[in-house]
Structure 1
Amino acid sequence: MSFVTLDSVSAATPDGRLLFENLDLSIGAERVGLVGRNGAGKSTLLALVAGARAPISGVVSRTGAVAMLEQAPDLGADTRLVDLLGVRAAWDRLARIERGDGDAVDLAEADWELPARIDHALAEVGLDELDLERPAGSLSGGQATRAGLARLLIARPDVLLLDEPTNNLDAEARALVLGLLKRWRGGAVVVSHDRALLRQMDRIVELSPLGARSYGGGYDLYAQRKALEAEAAQRDLDHAEREVRRVAREAQVARERKDRRDAAGRRFADRGGTPKILLGRMAERAENSGAREGRLAGKLAAQAEEAHALAEARVERARLLGFDLPSSGLPAGRLVLAFDAVGFAWPDGRPVFEGLSLAMTGPERVAILGANGAGKTTLIRLATGDLTPTTGQVRLHVPFALLDQRAAVLDDGQTILANFRRLNPGASLNDAHAALARFLFRNAAALQVAGTLSGGERLRAALACVLCAATPPQLLILDEPTNHLDLDSVRAVEAALSGYDGALLVVSHDEDFLDAIGLDRRIVLKTP
């Protein structure tokens, strides 16, 4: 049974850019992972399924209830946890009845099973100890996301819609989301680049301008199929290139054969004795034969070139995001960063950590792990000098660059080229273009405004700006770098970082990412 069916659906951005067309998709009691390049229209597709927007053509049919996880819930001063759960009116009605203030309408419309559903939902997401009257503004980002998931469980829709549900969640909260989806028996559509989450899916749907393509199974089977497709595309390209060369050789042989026939014909005519009418017919036949051969050769050449162009486009899409990082020049034995018995507490006296000591030497790769609120961002701010330790000492011995998940080093109102020259004032225009080209921003691509870039493009632009400086950083500090990247961009960044010869200090909850970049150490911070 299908809860939602999309029939020949097309959608576009507000400025008219086509996202996809003639898309057909059915969603039943299954978990569907929705993937695709940033800007492909994944969030738009969720909005179409939810009924929050209409397609420009085609039909969306629903036979079941659909509910979407809110990405930016209201955390205002008057908002309580019960509001985030979406049951304020029903909860207040029960409270009035319990106080003896309820009227006949309250008694008639009371949902007596609501408290049990709330308790079950909060237990499912690990919030069972929280007071429903607690101000929403006092919740952490992770807690607010958990409350949003509990709201869906209370509503009991037929289809859940989740847009990057594990972003900014620690390992424990991520495990809760994975467990919830594993137990879910309705339909679910999940937009995510979290490969651990995508492994829980029953199928992966890849969105592109051509529509939606379905791959049975979870992420690993999808990745295997994509790898096989990439290999097939490369084989097709190799075959197409050989075919172009073969057709060109045969056309050259045909031209040379015709030239020899024409020369023989001229010599035969020069000997004389052959009637002009016969010579004319021979010449006409030769001309017609040459024209047919020429048309055939032209047709074969055009077909070969078309096949080559299509094969090259398929391979180019796979290669598009690959880039290499320049050398940092970091010596192997150089002390990079040292924390000596560092403690830090906020002005209200709330401690974050005490007696923290660590040292990074040479091109070491260190991950900082811990639950939300354990102090990971605080440690980074101490490392960069943005905060001063309460006790102990922090020593940074090499040039560094900090890149957070939003790549805040970029000015959204400036082009990539202008950002590069602002951050590297000594670079000439040619130097800037050459550096950006290395990161795949060639020619006009360097003139894109930073605020219009996708997550992957933005991180790539930021890396170009900081790594191609006159004095390149020897320490890269990355704070949740994959949060706003699509899967292709994540894999490209992983490949680039795996070949980087500088030191890495990384905060990330993405275990696949941490495994791919080849860590030397993991430091786990405990919640104070």
Structure 2
Amino acid sequence: MTTLSISDLTFSWPDGTPVLEGVGAAFGAGHIGLVGGNGAGKSTLLRLIAGELRPLRGSITVSGAIGYLRQDLGLASGLRVDAVLGIAEIRKSLHRIESGSADEGDFDRVGNAWDVEERAIALLGRLGLPYVADSPEQLDRTMETLSGGETVLLGLVAELLAEPDVLLLDEPTNNLDQHARQRLYEVVAQFSGTVLTVSHDRDLLERMDAIAELRRGELRLFGGNFGVYEQIIEAEQEAARAAVRDARSDMRKQAKELVDTRVKLDRRQRYGRKMAENKREPKIVMGLRKRAAEVSAGKLRNNHIEKLDTAKEQLQQAEESLREDREIRVDLPGTRLYPGQDVIELDEVRLSCGPVVSLRVTGPERIALTGRNGVGKTTLLRRIAEEPPKVPWRVLAQRLDIFDERRSVFDNVAAMAPHASAEQIRAQLARFLFRGAAADLTARALSGGERLRAALAMLLLADPAPRLLLLDEPTNNLDLPSLDHLTQALASFEGALIVVSHDARFLDEIGVTRRLELTPAGVTE
């Protein structure tokens, strides 16, 4: 039974930039992973379905209520937990009823939701939020007291409390530790309606019933999980590569035959001129022979030109079927650290969130910093930066708040590299996919993936180049091709890395040499 259908959906941004063109799809109950490159329009499609944006053309039909977990929920600082959950007014009415000061409106507002506090706390507990202590007072906390992972889980609880029929999730596992991810996987798996999930979390995508790919403004649906999707794409790409090889071979053959034909025709023309000069045949016969030769030569030449044009067209079609997904090409600075070189030394430093930490880092160590959401991993990175480290360093903040929002990408990077020329900066930005006018976009106009690429550019192109990178969830918002390339780049970096990440596969692929867990008692190996 179809619960979500899209027909001829077309959308462009106000400046005319096209995003979707004639997209159509139908989804029933089940879990669908939505994939595609950064900027393909995945988050835009969710916003259209949720009604936050209006399409230029087409229609969206939803059977039932929609729940929408946004990617930028963490920006709503100052709100209380119960306000995010959408139960603040109901709680106020409940408390007035309990104190005997209620009016008729309070009973109308509560309706059948007499157990809303208990349901909210139960859901928070199922998702493993560490601050839940079976106390309604926890619902009075404000957003700035929560970690990034806690914020995501809180947003999911808010949507589930509304009991939607269609659940839209935009990068739901961003900032979640491995324990919280497992809880989220379990809770989402129990949702019986339609789930449409934008994610680069390969483990989550493996749990999907189908994969929808958004590419070049079109939506294509694949049955099966992400592994099945990858197999289908690889088989198609192998066939496309073979078609390109055949088309190039045919084009070379047709080009050679055209050259050979022109050589033969040139020889005939020289022979004809020689015969005319020697006057070995009557003039009228030579004239007829010349005209016939010209007609024949023209047909032959045109025939080979047409074959060459056809071969070129076939090659173009074959090349268009090849996937050339844009990837960031990060050239990390060649700043080597030597074994034994001092980088960081913390001796029983108390973090503001409680733990007492001792930590020494020497040489090009690669350290994975893990721990439960809210334990203080981001706080520890900040404290390391405050000491400061004994080598040039840069930190990539989880919230990507390092920009002057009013300035362009180019200007933000130039401020970090004052000795670089404009040409050098633009050449480097092109490696981060900010080519031409894209480098002149203001920071506030960037999408989530673009913000991360711009932040990486600011960090890595800074002067002096960093020998220590402090990375807080660096894979958030990266599409899968960019994630693969970032992994390769970090794997070749010769400085020290301290990486907060809950992506176990990513940590393995960058060659982590030490794994530290931050707990309320401190740091353990």
The question of 1:154 aligning with 2:155 is answered no
Q: Alpha-carbon deviations, 1:382-437, whole Å to 9, x = none?
A: 2222xx5xxxxxx7332222223455555444444444443233334454455445
CA separation of 1:456/1:156 partners in 2, compared to 1, >3 Å: closer, same or farther? closer
CA contact (8 A) 1:20 1:208 kept: no
Q: Is the 8 A contact 2:40 2:217 kept in 1?
A: no
Match of 2:496 in 1: 503
Unaligned runs of 5+ in 1: 389-394
In the alignment, does 2:281 pair up with 1:274? yes
Contact 2:351-2:379 at 8 Å conserved across structures: no
Q: Determine if contact 1:4/1:60 at 8 Å carries over to the other structure.
A: yes
2:133 — aligned with what? 129
Q: Which residue of structure 1 aligns with residue 69 of structure 2? A: 69
Decide whether the 8 Å contact of 1:82 with 1:132 is kept in 2: no
Counterpart CA distance in 2 for 1:76 and 1:436 is 32
Decide whether the 8 Å contact of 2:351 with 2:380 is kept in 1. no
Distance 1:333 1:315, change over 3 A: farther
Residue 258 (structure 2) aligns with: 251
- The 8 Å contact of residues 327 and 485 in structure 2, kept in 1 or not, is answered as no
Matched, 1:173 2:168: no
Bigger Cα displacement from structure 2, 122-131 vs 101-110: 101-110
Number of matched pairs: 513
Secondary structure at the residue paired with 2:7? strand
| In the alignment, structure 1 residue 353 sits paired with structure 2 residue 355 | yes
Does the 8 Å contact 1:455/1:486 carry over to 2?
A: no
Which amino acid in structure 1 is aligned with residue 378 of structure 2? Answer: T
Letter in 2 for 1:382: R
Tell me which of 272, 289, 293 is aligned to 2:300: 293
CA gap 1:459/1:307 in 2 versus in 1, 3 angstroms: farther
- Which TM-score applies when normalising by structure 2? 0.86
**Aligned residue runs from structure 1 range 50-129, under 5 A:** 50-70=50-70, 71-72=72-73, 81-88=81-88, 110-111=111-112, 114-115=115-116, 117-118=119-120, 121-126=123-128, 129=133
Distance 1:52 1:240, change over 3 A: same
Retained in 2: the 8 A contact 1:94–1:110? no
**Is 1:362 matched with 2:366?**
no
Equivalent residue letter for 1:358: L
Q: Which moved more, 1:171-180 or 1:413-422?
A: 413-422
Moved more, 104-113 or 157-166: 104-113
Deviates more, 1:477-486 or 1:271-280: 271-280
Paired with 1:296 and 1:240, the residues of 2 have a C-alpha distance of 18
| Contact 1:456-1:489 at 8 Å conserved across structures | no
Task: Give the 3 Å change call, closer, same or farther, for CA 316–122 of structure 1 in structure 2.
Answer: closer
SS at match of 2:168: strand
- Equivalent residue, structure 2, for 1:223: 230
Q: CA deviation at 1:372?
A: 2.0
- How far apart are 1:187 and its partner, in Å? 0.7
**Residue 178 of structure 1 aligns to a residue in which SS?**
helix
Which residue number corresponds to residue 415 of structure 2? 422
Which whole-Å CA distance do the structure 1 matches of 2:107 and 2:437 have between them? 67
* Distance in 2 of aligned mates of 1:439 and 1:47: 26
Partner of residue 140 from structure 1, selected from 146, 149, 152: 146
- 1:38 maps to which residue? 38
Q: Can you list the C-alpha shifts for 1:169-212, whole angstroms capped at 9, x where unaligned?
A: 22222222111111222110111222222222111111123310
Change (3 A) 1:446 1:9: closer
Aligned-pair CA distance for 1:474:
1.8
Counterpart secondary structure, 2:2: coil
Q: Distance in 1 between matches of 2:51 and 2:408?
A: 36
Shift of 1:376: 1.2
Q: Deviations over 1:100-119 (max 9, x none)?
A: 66677877883167457556
What does 1:114-513 correspond to in 2, within 5 Å? Answer: 114-115=115-116, 117-118=119-120, 121-126=123-128, 129-133=133-137, 134-137=139-142, 140-141=146-147, 142-312=149-319, 315=322, 317-318=324-325, 320-339=327-346, 341-346=347-352, 352-354=354-356, 356-385=357-386, 396-405=389-398, 407-436=400-429, 446-468=439-461, 471-513=464-506
8 Å Cα contact 1:93-1:110 kept in structure 2 = no
Cα distance change of structure 1 residues 185 and 496 upon mapping to structure 2, 3 Å threshold: same
Match of 1:17 in 2: 17
Show CA shifts across 1:99-153 (max 9, x none). 5666778778831674575565344334663434531416514444333322333
How far apart in 1 are the matches of 2:435 and 2:77?
45
Distance verdict in 2 for CA 1:458–1:149, change over 3 Å:
closer
- After the TM superposition, which of the residue ranges 297-306 and 426-435 deviates more from structure 2? 426-435
Compute the displacement of 1:220 (Å).
2.5
1:364–1:104 CA distance, 2 compared to 1 (3 A): closer
Segment of structure 1 superposing worse, 219-228 or 57-66: 219-228
1:317 aligned counterpart, secondary structure: coil
Q: 1:232 to 1:504 in 2, by over 3 A?
A: farther
The alignment partner of 2:325 has SS state of helix
Output the TM-score relative to the length of structure 1: 0.85
Contact 2:64/2:166 (<8 A) preserved: yes
What is the deviation of 1:244? 2.7
SS at match of 2:354: strand
Task: Provide the identity percentage.
Answer: 39
State whether residues 405 and 484 of structure 1, in contact with CA within 8 Å, keep that contact through their aligned partners in structure 2. no
| Paired position in structure 2 for 1:391 | none
What's the CA shift for 1:156?
1.9
Cα distance change on mapping 1:457 and 1:276 into 2, 3 Å: farther
Q: In 2, are the aligned partners of 1:321 and 1:440 still within 8 Å (CA)?
A: yes
- 1:227 Cα deviation from its structure 2 partner: 3.6
Following superposition, the deviation at residue 497 of structure 1 comes to 1.4
Give 3-state SS (helix, strand or coil) of 1:396's partner.
coil
**Distance of aligned partners of 1:124 and 1:470 in 2 relative to their CA distance in 1, 3 Å threshold:** closer
Instruction: State how far apart, in whole Å, the 1-side matches of 2:104 and 2:431 are.
Output: 72
Cα distance in 2 between the residues matched to 1:439 and 1:153? 37
